[in-house]
A and B are shown apart, each in its own frame.
Chain A
Amino acid sequence: MDRRFFLKSSGIALASLSAATASPTFLTRTLAQTGKNGRKKLLVAIFQRGAMDGLNAVVPYGDQAYYGLRPSIAVPRPKSGDPMTAIDLDGFFGLNPALASFKPIYDSGQLAIIHAVGSPDNTRSHFDAQDYMEAGTPGVKSTTDGWLNRYLQAKPDPKASPFRAVAMGANMPRTMQGRGAAIAMTSINDFTIRSGGGEMGQAVQGGFEAMYAQTVNDALRGTGKETFDAVKLLKQVNPNQYQPAAGVVYPRGQFGDRLRQVAQLVKSDIGLEIAFTDIGGWDTHANQGAGQGQLANRLIEFSNGIAALYADLKDRADEVVILTMTEFGRTAKENGNRGTDHGHASVMFALGGVVKGGKVYGKWPGLKTNELYEGRDLALTTDFRDVFAELAKNHLGASNINTIFPGYQANTANFKGLVRA
């Protein structure tokens, strides 16, 4: 596996090879975080843009205040036989019935839920809050790169595949912007120069490659190199041999398509370490519904997509963790339009073979007025950086998490123990 990258790199990236040498620590680290078959550990990060209402996704039905705050949109307490009620998890929390496909994974102990998690910053701006979460530096706007990119930088890998970090989507997300090489793509099949093929096609590709290699514009030059390295590698591995595992059906639409292509890349053994995609439509200011309705429709697509990816990658469950995140939660009290406005803490889901699941993590802050953040929102009891840092360290094997989360004294004592280290 790595050998292939080595060979490829020696051809294309001679210069970068000489820059790094394999120190003993590097070797140990590499060994420590490769899975059973010598494959890399992998993180699939999914951003729910627009701020998911954590209180209606993972319902604190055991907290009486919840029903007082949400007279028309609360998800009813679990009641067997009634598909519109919460699905009980632990006698206090229940899943929105639209998240039903998560339940078997939770029961198998491979889905962990972190509640009342988010950014300690009090911004209720989507833009700022997404920025802070993707940069990994709440309250600091001057951070130029994203935390996933800083992970790449913190663990430089001279033999890294150009597909080490891939964002499914037309734009590079903030969290993967930075010095570390990363790719954004909408479709695996379109990821090539389409010039009519043949000899002339080769020449055209070569022409583009040479021009971009020479340009003085750093952004264009760097991106150009990443592009052509990736195009060439993709040709070699032929990801189109991929078939989803038996019985796996991805939901129709962009989100399902993207997750399917993540699986395709994973199964091509193309050196993927970080995959990212996002899903919008969570900004439910009006008529969000309860067990069905607007929010439920998003939750169905979201959970069915993730459950499909999880099942598709089951044979390498120990290597993969799927983590979801959203910029903030929503007001505890419903607003005047049967919706919710911008709030504070929300929910994250973590799935994978190494995840210690079947549990809702995090201290419950309560929903009484005096317990709410600024008198209106679910308070925060887990800083999202503690979740990110734990996965970066204990799953991906980053040794220096403080460079990934500058200004934050990541303390392993704050880790939730979400993954088997």
Chain B
Amino acid sequence: MKKTSIARISVLMLAFLLAFSSPLSLAQDVKKRSKAKGTEKTTSLSDGQKSSHLLDRITFGARPGDVERVTKIGWEKYLNEQLHPDRIYDQVITEKLKNIESIHLSNAELANYYPPPQALREALKTKGLDLPGAAGGNQSSPSQMSDADQVAKRREVQKALKEMGYKQPQQVAIELQQSKILRAVYSEKQLQEVMTDFWFNHFNIYLQKGADRVLTTTYERDVIRPHVFAKFEDLLKATAESPAMLFYLDNWQSAAPNAQAMAMREKAMARRQSMQANGGNGGRVADRPVNPRRMDRQVSNLPNDKTPDPQRQAMQAPLNNNGKIKKPPRGLNENYAREIMELHTLGVDGGYTQKDVQEVARCLTGWTLRNPRAGAEFIFNPMIHDDGEKTVLGKKIAAGGGQKDGYAVIHLLATHPSTAKFISTKLVRKFVHDHPPQALVDRMVQTFQKSDGDIREVLRTMLTSPEFFAAENYRAKIKTPFEMTVSAARAIGAETNGGPQFHRWIAQMGEGLFMAQPPTGYADVAENWVNAGALLERMNFALALASNRIPGTRVNLNSLVSGVQTNGLNQSQLVDRYAKLLLRGELSSQSRATIDKSLGEQTVAMNNGANSTSSVDVAKVVGLILGSPEFQRQ
């Protein structure tokens, strides 16, 4: 009986498929209609569709009732609200984030409470303990221990760490990922969060690179988020001065070539004390480090911590040099200089040369960090700065500029026409279409240049444009893994703690949060994330979410269709209800009927009419809708 029912379903579905030889999506319908009428394509979205489209693109997906709400107040008003997040009351997310400890700390506090594994191991050693299962730890012990012993050991270690006031560093990553998921799901400042995601990816850093394990938290919170609607130059400057970026792209290690630095060092020794008074941001070079628990020594003197600190070496080597200490390495590092032009501003075809890369690197020498692994503070160190004349993109930067060289470069890059074009194009790819319409890009470039790189105004130009609401761009983008998972949770009103069990799915689809290793961040067009493996993960996620198989995330599907007894509905009516709710009627009639048929037949076959629709069936219906091709689009 089982075999035959499956076979029957297959036959039915096949018959069904054949019946629809030329499927048309709604978007195509709209397009056809507008073409036939010869009207402007821009007028063809209904008010409801416009609201729905705006919500699709500037939020992490509509919640039940959102489309109606936006339609009622008008999309212009809603957009304006979203462009001014400071005016939005956001109590729910504030409450949810309140007790997530690490996301509220400073770099120094993070470094102190969440020291790297090596430091933890050192600390544990004093109590005769070691981290459980740590790579590089005592390899013989775990395999020889029974499970119970291992659990006991782990508890002992946890207890010891707690007593010492330490937490494991991976907690910082988990909580940061968690807070990003929670904000995306619950914050009312949706466009701010979408833009935070966008700009973080644009100025990407990698959570797993050395000190960035703890610096990423403040990078997102203090560098990216406050600037998402700011002047582009301010955002660029904030990233350039951020410890996280200085560390990630190695600029903190870049120093003027040998000869000059050596000469300067002689002079600098004498000047060392007086430096406290000047040097802008670096004015506190000789201050005592901000380290409430004096972990800095432990952290930075670790045997595994091999990265030399040119700042420290430049400062200390001459003083400590009794002929034993080797000449500290120093010299230019081009990494950040290249990426600030290629990825952050001009774009790879923006018209710079290898020579420009070197010149920008020279300008940025001395932009470094104090105690990168224990509080990481941005400073300018004149002793390792190349103070000669430079030429960047044909413009002379006079000798003797010191830290100002860097600001000159930032200004030059932020106001360069290639930057306006590069940023505008990237925004259109993100918000409008994978293949940006040139006319729209051109108008955004104009806004960018007229408004002194005002991101809010550039966004406004784009989001109010006819192109944005054009029928061919309606539901024409495929959601990223992050967008897909969060939009599904929002669509069905899931309650989630945003924990690792939720994040795991995003990572499985290929885009773990803060986990893009290269400076390019994740790719911004769909062909990079639409593939067989990732598609399966989407369907599996949809099923897991709808059937409450994701720990820490709960849905109540029956309460979704409130007031309606799902028991009283037949399968077909049920599919209708959920399709309307989750896809605002954009589930194609074919998909709707397919779900209907496959589940309907199945239910009859399984239950033999004995039972009415169970909650399991509702979960499958919702799972199928969330995993459907339509739900992948926005």
Q: Tell me the A residues contacting B by CB distance below 8 Å.
A: 49-50, 72, 122-128, 167, 169-172, 177, 182-186, 190-196, 199-200, 202-204, 206-208, 210-217, 219-221, 223-224, 226-227, 230-231, 280, 283, 285-287, 293, 335-339, 341-342, 374
Of B6, B258, B628, the contact of A202 (CB 8 Å cutoff): B6
Q: A177-B527, A203-B598, A208-B539 are in contact. List 5 more A-B contacts (CB 8 A).
A: A214-B591, A280-B518, A286-B250, A335-B333, A337-B253
Question: Would B591 and A211 count as touching, CB distance under 8 A?
Answer: yes
**Tally of A-B Cβ pairs under 8 angstroms:** 221
Kindly state the separation between the CA atoms of A300 and B535 in the bound complex, as whole angstroms: 34
**327-352 of chain B: CB within 8 A of chain A:** 329-335, 338, 342-343, 348
Question: Would A124 and B539 count as touching, CB distance under 8 A?
Answer: no
Kindly state the separation between the CA atoms of A49 and B24 in the bound complex, as whole angstroms: 42
Question: Would A207 and B508 count as touching, CB distance under 8 A?
Answer: no
Question: Would A219 and B526 count as touching, CB distance under 8 A?
Answer: yes
Question: Would A195 and B620 count as touching, CB distance under 8 A?
Answer: yes
**A226 / chain B contacts, CB cutoff of 8 Å:** 532
Kindly state the separation between the CA atoms of A219 and B518 in the bound complex, as whole angstroms: 26
**A194 / chain B contacts, CB cutoff of 8 Å:** 540, 543-544
Of B28, B333, B534, the contact of A285 (CB 8 Å cutoff): B333
Question: Would A337 and B627 count as touching, CB distance under 8 A?
Answer: no
Question: Would B536 and A227 count as touching, CB distance under 8 A?
Answer: yes
Question: Would A210 and B598 count as touching, CB distance under 8 A?
Answer: yes
**A280 / chain B contacts, CB cutoff of 8 Å:** 517-518
Kindly state the separation between the CA atoms of A327 and B335 in the bound complex, as whole angstroms: 16
A-facing mask of B491-535, CB < 8 A → 1, else 0?
A: 000000000000000011111000001111001001111111111
Known: A286-B333, A341-B335. A184 touches B534 (CB 8 A): yes
A235 CB, min distance to chain B CBs, angstroms: 13
Does B257 have its Cβ within 8 Å of any Cβ on chain A? yes
Question: Would B623 and A170 count as touching, CB distance under 8 A?
Answer: no
Question: Would A183 and B532 count as touching, CB distance under 8 A?
Answer: yes
Known: A170-B533, A219-B530, A335-B332. A287 touches B307 (CB 8 A): yes
**469-492 of chain B: CB within 8 A of chain A:** 478
Q: What residue of chain A has the Cβ atom nearest to residue B258's Cβ? A: A336
Query: Which stretch from B41-49, B185-193, B416-424, B599-607 is at the chain A interface?
Result: B599-607
22 pairs from A and B in contact (CB 8 Å cutoff): A170-B509, A170-B534, A171-B534, A185-B533, A190-B508, A195-B623, A203-B9, A207-B598, A207-B599, A210-B13, A210-B16, A210-B598, A211-B590, A211-B594, A214-B591, A220-B632, A280-B517, A336-B257, A336-B332, A337-B250, A337-B254, A341-B335
Does B10 have its Cβ within 8 Å of any Cβ on chain A? yes
Known: A210-B17, A220-B632. A338 touches B510 (CB 8 A): no
Kindly state the separation between the CA atoms of A202 and B334 in the bound complex, as whole angstroms: 55
Question: Would A211 and B518 count as touching, CB distance under 8 A?
Answer: no
Kindly state the separation between the CA atoms of A381 and B153 in the bound complex, as whole angstroms: 57
Of A191, A208, A338, A342, the contact of B624 (CB 8 Å cutoff): A208
Closest 6 CB pairs of A and B: A336-B331, A170-B510, A215-B629, A185-B533, A172-B531, A207-B598
B331 CB, min distance to chain A CBs, angstroms: 2
Known: A49-B518, A337-B333. A124 touches B354 (CB 8 A): yes
Question: Would B338 and A204 count as touching, CB distance under 8 A?
Answer: no
Kindly state the separation between the CA atoms of A40 and B457 in the bound complex, as whole angstroms: 58
Question: Would B5 and A214 count as touching, CB distance under 8 A?
Answer: no
Question: Would A199 and B2 count as touching, CB distance under 8 A?
Answer: yes
B369 CB, min distance to chain A CBs, angstroms: 13
**A186 / chain B contacts, CB cutoff of 8 Å:** 508, 510, 533
Question: Would B307 and A286 count as touching, CB distance under 8 A?
Answer: yes
**B348 / chain A contacts, CB cutoff of 8 Å:** 123, 125, 127-128
Of B334, B527, B533, B605, the contact of A342 (CB 8 Å cutoff): B334
Does B588 have its Cβ within 8 Å of any Cβ on chain A? yes
A-facing mask of B526-559, CB < 8 A → 1, else 0?
A: 1111111111110110011001000000000000
A-facing mask of B117-153, CB < 8 A → 1, else 0?
A: 0000000000000000000000000000000000000
Question: Would B508 and A192 count as touching, CB distance under 8 A?
Answer: no
Question: Would A184 and B532 count as touching, CB distance under 8 A?
Answer: yes
Question: Would B23 and A216 count as touching, CB distance under 8 A?
Answer: yes
**B535 / chain A contacts, CB cutoff of 8 Å:** 212, 220, 223-224, 227
Q: What residue of chain B has the Cβ atom nearest to residue A217's Cβ? A: B629
Question: Would B254 and A341 count as touching, CB distance under 8 A?
Answer: no
A406 CB, min distance to chain B CBs, angstroms: 19
Kindly state the separation between the CA atoms of A123 and B352 in the bound complex, as whole angstroms: 11
Question: Would A207 and B594 count as touching, CB distance under 8 A?
Answer: yes
Does B306 have its Cβ within 8 Å of any Cβ on chain A? yes
Kindly state the separation between the CA atoms of A308 and B491 in the bound complex, as whole angstroms: 47
Known: A204-B620, A214-B17, A214-B588. A337 touches B329 (CB 8 A): yes
Known: A193-B539, A219-B527, A287-B308. A206 touches B13 (CB 8 A): yes
Does B595 have its Cβ within 8 Å of any Cβ on chain A? yes
Q: What residue of chain B has the Cβ atom nearest to residue A202's Cβ? A: B6
Kindly state the separation between the CA atoms of A223 and B535 in the bound complex, as whole angstroms: 8
**A50 / chain B contacts, CB cutoff of 8 Å:** 518
